[in-house]
């Protein structure tokens, strides 16, 4: 069970090490974060669908971007 101290990495035991758990927390945070849509300019509408696939919930546009982080700079004109 996750706690406030270890956050999402609470599912890993002590044998996995602090460094691995810190990396996992960083990636997990960026995967679950909502990003702004570069097409319709809606704030917090782009979410991760699968590995490298992102979708805007408002305009239903799909993007191919980073695996764990949405990069808006790839889509600006």
Domains of the chain, by residue range, sit at 35-77
Say if residues 29 and 48 touch (Cβ distance below 8 Å): no
Q: For residue 17, give every residue at least 6 positions away whose Cβ sits within 8 Å of its Cβ, in sequence order, or none.
A: none
pTM for this predicted structure: 0.75
pLDDT in tens, 23-61: 999 999 999 999 999 888 889 999 999 998 999 999 999
Assigned CATH topology for domain 35-77: N-terminal domain of TfIIb (2.20.25)
Reduced to 3 states (helix: H, G, I; strand: E, B; else coil), residue 27 is helix
Say if residues 44 and 35 touch (Cβ distance below 8 Å): yes
Q: Which residue has the higher pLDDT, 42 or 72?
A: 42
Read off the tokens for 36.
């702004």
Q: Which residue has the higher pLDDT, 77 or 9?
A: 9
Say if residues 39 and 59 touch (Cβ distance below 8 Å): yes
């Amino acid at each position: 069970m996750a706690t406030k101290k270890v956050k999402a990495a609470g599912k890993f035991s002590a044998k996995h090490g602090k460094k691995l758990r810190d990396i996992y927390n960083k990636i997990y945070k960026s995967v679950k974060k909502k990003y702004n849509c570069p097409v319709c300019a809606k704030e917090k509408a782009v979410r991760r669908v699968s590995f490298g696939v992102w979708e805007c919930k408002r305009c239903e546009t799909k993007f191919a971007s980073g695996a764990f982080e949405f990069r808006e700079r790839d889509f600006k004109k």
